[in-house]
Amino acid sequence: MSNTYNISDLAAEFDITTRTIRFYEEKGLLKPERNGNNRIYSPADRVALKLILRGKRLGFTLEESRDIITMYHPGQNNADQLHSLISKIREKRGQLEQQLHDLEVMMLDLESSEEKCLLALAELAPTS
C-alpha cells in the first residue's frame, strides 16, 4: 500500500476535481511535495483534505477548518483541538437553529399573506 498519493488519486477518492485540490493548496491548506510538475501528497495531506471536506459539509469556512487542522499534533493530547471543534459545532448548530426558526416564521407569514390574497380575490369575484 502506498504512503503517498498523487492529485488524481485524491480527486477520485473524495469525488472532487483536481482544481479543487489545487485551490486548497493555493490557500495553504495542503502542502504536497513536488517531483518536477507532479504533486506528491502525504497521508497527512490526505487527512487534511478529508477534514477540509468534512468541515465544508458542516458549514465551516476554510479559515475555521484551517484553525482546527493546525491545532492537531499527532501523538499529543489534542484536547484543545477537540474543545475548539465542539465550540464550532455548537456555534454552527445555533446558527442553523436560528435559520430554521426564521424559515418557520417566514412560512407562516407566507401562508397568512396567501390566505389574505385568496380572501380578497373571493370578495372581488362576481356574485350570481
- Quote the Cα angle for 57-75-60, to 5°: 15
Whether residue 57 sits in one domain with residue 1: yes
User: What is the rounded average pLDDT for all residues in the chain?
Assistant: 92
Residue 27: give its domain's CATH number.
1.10.1660.10
Residue 78: the pLDDT is 83
Structural domain ending residue among the three candidates 26, 46, 70: 70
Confidence of residue 77 (pLDDT cuts 50, 70, 90): confident
Number of domain units in the chain: 2
What's the pLDDT tens digit per position in 89-99? 999 999 999 99
Structural domain ending residue among the three candidates 22, 48, 70: 70
Task: Say what the pTM is.
Answer: 0.75
Is residue 81 within 8 Å of 68, Cβ to Cβ?
A: yes
pLDDT at 73 over 90: no
Whether residue 42 sits in one domain with residue 18: yes
Average pLDDT over every residue of 46-63: 93
Whether residue 84 sits in one domain with residue 25: no
Q: How many CB atoms lie within 10 A of CB 18?
A: 14
pLDDT at 128 over 70: no
pLDDT at 74 over 80: no
Is residue 25 within 8 Å of 32, Cβ to Cβ?
A: yes
Whether residue 38 sits in one domain with residue 5: yes
pLDDT at 127 over 80: no
Residues 108, 114, 120, 122: what is their CA dihedral angle, to the nearest 10 degrees? -120
Whether residue 66 sits in one domain with residue 82: no
Structural domain harbouring 109: 78-128
Residue 70: the pLDDT is 87
SS (H, E, C) 37-95: CEEEECHHHHHHHHHHHHHHHCCCCHHHHHHHHHCCCCCCCCHHHHHHHHHHHHHHHHH
Whether residue 3 sits in one domain with residue 62: yes
